[in-house]
Amino acid sequence: MEPAIKFPHRSPEKMKAQHEQAVTDIKAAIISKLTLGVGKDAAQATERDWFLATALAARDRVIHRWLAEERATRAEGRKRVYYLSLEFLIGRLISDVISNLGLTDVFRDALGDLGVDFNRLQAAEPDAALGNGGLGRLAACFMESMATLGIPGSGYGIRYDHGLFRQVIKDGWQHEYPENWLSFRNPWEFARPEVIYDIHFGGRVENTTTPRGTQRAVWHPEERVEAVAFDTPIVGWQDRHVNPLRLWSARAPDPLRLDAFNRGDHVGAASAQARAEAISKVLYPSDETPAGRELRLRQEYFFVSASLQDLVQRHLRDFGDLHSLPLNAAIQLNDTHPSIAVAELMRILIDLHGMEWSEAWQIVVGTLSYTNHTLLPEALESWPVPLFERVLPRHLQIIYRINSEHLKVAEEKFPDDSDFLASVSLIDEHHGRRLRMGHLAFIGSHRINGVSGLHTDLMRKTVFSDLHALYPDRIVNKTNGVTFRRWLNQSNPGLSKLVREACGDVYSDWTRIKKLDEYANDSAFLEKLAAEKRANKVALAKVIRERVGIVVDPSAMFDIQIKRIHEYKRQLLNLMETVALYNAIRSNPNRNWAPRVKIFAGKAAASYKTAKLIIKLANDIARTVNDDPAVRGLLKVVFLPNYNVSLAECIIPAADLSEQISTAGMEASGTGNMKLALNGALTVGTYDGANVEMCDNVGDDNIFIFGLHAHEVEECRAIGHNPGAIIAKTPMLAEVIESIEQGVFSPDDKSRYGELMAGIRNSDYYMISNDFASYAEAQRKIDQVWHTPDVWRRMCVHNIAGMGWFSSDRTIAEYAEDIWSVPV
């Protein structure tokens, strides 16, 4: 679908002629790239060759705009935004680029003329899976929105050789395999072999006094690694603006020790190279071993140091003086992973540019800001002091000084309160001396933001309550959003067309989508909406059959839970309710059940045993239910392997029901919730994360909310809740637990889920027992609504219409105004 009414003054004949000319040009460009860029004839070209040629032809159409925008930013001295993130979960880029250029129909027709199917060609692009989940995907949506809004923004991250692992399900269990996204060349990126920075590690610090009597620290590192830049252009909607995503690759300064090689030590001769290159080898290496943790710290410092050196150099080139850095640059830290930036920027200003401490500190705080994405204690980063000192001795000194200045301020404001000081200190003395990276990021930033209203509120009340007392103006909320260009226009072109016919170009102006509310009682519109949903479900049913061999009926309700597998996200609650439904259908097959297909997808961290067991349970339940003729036609369960951005693009448009059922207070925001509602799914969810604001935007009657609220969860935990008593009072739940623990779904290993179920009986930290009855009740209410299609469809319309505010354009505009001080 092309941008709406691009040439309002042109006649249809003229537009047709123009289209034909464009198709001719693109055809020639693709053939030229195939021949000269890929080295293939059309007759020998594989799908991958066609993808490469097409991507190269599309990329050519971006470069001039990119260079022009960069020239203008420089000439006008515009403030730049730097988004530092260890993760960018981009997925495929081809349809992003071509559709934002407004050339989808042109490329489709050009390729068609060449005998190539555009959809199949798109599938030949490997996903850039440089992220784990929500945090990384948010960074990708933000990059696209910054480009769309014309904000001069650069992303900085790591060019991992291997992104997130490929998940293979064997006999129901998850296995991990390396992802090789770069093995067939990445046509989007530009290697910049001339943009290289030295990154240092280890060694010692020499403290000297200059002849003038000032103290100076000189770091004598023991190791040097090179960071090499690779740039990917990120195109905004209608090609208005293009921004770079600069990813760093690690390289050893000396690839080979020739003396060792000539002695015959072929492996040892390359060991320094292997150690250096390990830094950009894999995303989020296992942190189960000390070596893994150290590598993670090296990754963080590596990309932060390279990025800061790069932006400081650019600032000096453009403005000549580092004192104006906060005026001309805003650096956003995506979670604590880049928080070493606080100490590194201080080091650059003081050690390398001779600045005074307090002057440097003002610049750092004025330039940096930090986004928190989770309150889970196990996910809050901290580093053991001895490890940190070994890797970054000079930074430890700087952090100690930051801490002592910070504690002076704290002591002045809250005198004689040692508990308060211990709680705001950058050093946690309780767990064997660790550096609290969240605290470091907080102290070094002028703004700290949460990612939904509830999450921000909890930040103020829990993990950062004492720091908040010290700096009450710093914490602000910036509720997450998603880019509608990818998550509606590209992934669901049929629905996108309907929305645009009704509302106009919602991709330039998200407020327009609200107009869809006016169509909620338009039966012709509701029919068209239903037809689009049906077509998407037919397409997903095909994918399900091809990938897992299960046949599902597109007229059943597609009930979807897709996200990382984590106990707090409670896939287990969904599975247990599925078992309850299975039991109920078996004992009462003739009731007026709403036929359902329960679809799960998601990866578990390789070392997360319980999450992997939950995947196995999903597959065990799927096998049992799908093989049982008693429920045939009424219930199917599917676990789709290897969830990634591309699979999400295929599942989300086909969803009827969106499961957002985390334990209240634990999901910072969620963004899948927004994508699914935008695609016309109804939400069953807890009052958690951005679900709360979704309620406000779609209206309480158009969303199914159940379960404890965050404060109730806290109260329950405080008084010590009693799952045993709840289970005893809830026969349906008791039956589910018994059947799972007795091995009904695991006849080959009856005790497989004994411990998992004992966890619920005994402690139930995630409150499955507390929420079970209210969840099951919500599901039966959903069945009722499903039986009245008009009501269901009307609710879908209100959901789509209510999602405007969840555009990442809104989120980014708020960051621009309240945090970055850049014009939009």
Residue nearest to ligand 26V (CB): 134
Binds ligand 26V (CB under 6 A): choice among 134, 665, 685, 804: 134
Nearest-approach distance from CB 610 to ligand 26V, in angstroms: 11
Binds ligand 26V (CB under 6 A): choice among 23, 45, 94, 135: 135
Question: Among 504, 539, 499, which residue's Cα sits nearest to residue 678?
Answer: 499
Q: Binding to ligand 26V by residue 133, rule CB under 6 A?
A: yes
Q: Binding to ligand 26V by residue 157, rule CB under 6 A?
A: no
Binds ligand 26V (CB under 6 A): choice among 73, 85, 671, 779: 671
Q: Binding to ligand 26V by residue 378, rule CB under 6 A?
A: yes
Which one of 208-216, 371-379, 393-401, 595-603 is the stretch in contact with ligand 26V (CB under 6 A)?
371-379
Q: Binding to ligand 26V by residue 373, rule CB under 6 A?
A: yes
DSSP 3-state of 108: helix
Spatial neighbors of 73 by CB under 8 A, at least 6 apart, are: 80, 152
CA 420 to chain centre: 34
Query: Which is nearer to ligand 26V, 295 or 782 (by Cβ)?
Result: 295
Query: Which is nearer to ligand 26V, 135 or 768 (by Cβ)?
Result: 135
How far apart CA 398 and CA 540 sit, in angstroms, is 54
Nearest-approach distance from CB 133 to ligand 26V, in angstroms: 5
Q: Token pair for residue 698?
A: 């779609």
Query: Which is nearer to ligand 26V, 474 or 566 (by Cβ)?
Result: 566
- Sketch the per residue contact string, 462 through 481, with ligand 26V: x for CB under 6 A, - otherwise: ------------------x-
| Most distant pair of Cα atoms in the chain: their distance | 93
3-state secondary structure 786-814: HCCHHHHHHHHHHHHHCCHHHEHHHHHHH
The CA-to-CA distance between both ends of the chain, in Å, stands at: 26
Query: Which is nearer to ligand 26V, 400 or 608 (by Cβ)?
Result: 608
Q: Binding to ligand 26V by residue 306, rule CB under 6 A?
A: no
Binds ligand 26V (CB under 6 A): choice among 326, 438, 481, 670: 670
Binds ligand 26V (CB under 6 A): choice among 379, 409, 725, 791: 379
Query: Which is nearer to ligand 26V, 91 or 670 (by Cβ)?
Result: 670
Question: Among 461, 429, 455, 459, which residue's Cα sits nearest to residue 442?
Answer: 459
How far apart CA 660 and CA 571 sit, in angstroms, is 10
How far apart CA 306 and CA 324 sit, in angstroms, is 20
Angle between helices 731-741 and 768-786 (to 10 degrees): 110
DSSP-derived pairing of the beta strands 223-235 and 242-251: antiparallel
Which one of 112-120, 491-499, 588-596, 665-673 is the stretch in contact with ligand 26V (CB under 6 A)?
665-673
Q: What is the dihedral of CA 648, 654, 659, 660, to 10 degrees?
A: 50
Q: Decide if 557 contacts 594 (C-beta within 8 A).
A: yes
Nearest-approach distance from CB 566 to ligand 26V, in angstroms: 6
Query: Which is nearer to ligand 26V, 138 or 557 (by Cβ)?
Result: 138
How far apart CA 696 and CA 802 sit, in angstroms, is 9
Which one of 110-118, 307-315, 374-382, 415-423 is the stretch in contact with ligand 26V (CB under 6 A)?
374-382
Query: Which is nearer to ligand 26V, 100 or 372 (by Cβ)?
Result: 372
Which one of 17-25, 186-194, 541-549, 669-677 is the stretch in contact with ligand 26V (CB under 6 A)?
669-677
CA distances 558 to 612, 651, 691, Å, are 24, 10, 20
Residues identified as active-site: 373, 563-564, 569, 671, 675
Query: Which is nearer to ligand 26V, 89 or 526 (by Cβ)?
Result: 89
Which one of 121-129, 369-377, 523-531, 577-585 is the stretch in contact with ligand 26V (CB under 6 A)?
369-377
Residue-by-residue DSSP string for 641-690:
SS--HHHHHHHGGG-SEEEE-PPTT--S--SHHHHHHHTTPEEEE-S-TT
Binds ligand 26V (CB under 6 A): choice among 364, 668, 713, 803: 668
Phi and psi torsions of 532, nearest 5°:
-65, -45
Q: Binding to ligand 26V by residue 334, rule CB under 6 A?
A: no
249 CB-contact burial (10 Å; exposed 0-12 / middle 13-18 / buried 19+): buried
Q: Binding to ligand 26V by residue 67, rule CB under 6 A?
A: no
Nearest-approach distance from CB 443 to ligand 26V, in angstroms: 20
Nearest-approach distance from CB 135 to ligand 26V, in angstroms: 3
Q: Binding to ligand 26V by residue 563, rule CB under 6 A?
A: no
Q: Among residue numbers 417 through 456, which ones bind ligand 26V (CB under 6 A)?
A: 451
Spatial neighbors of 452 by CB under 8 A, at least 6 apart, are: 477, 479, 480, 668, 669, 670, 689, 690, 692, 693
3-state secondary structure 411-470: HHHCCCCHHHHHHHCCEECCCCCEEEHHHHHHHCCCEEEECCHHHHHHHHHCCCHHHHHH
Q: Decide if 765 contacts 378 (C-beta within 8 A).
A: no
Binds ligand 26V (CB under 6 A): choice among 56, 116, 128, 138: 138
Determine the size of the site formed for ligand 26V (CB under 6 A): 18
> Which residues form the interface with ligand 26V (CB under 6 A)?
133-135, 138, 335, 373-374, 376, 378-379, 451, 480, 667-671, 689
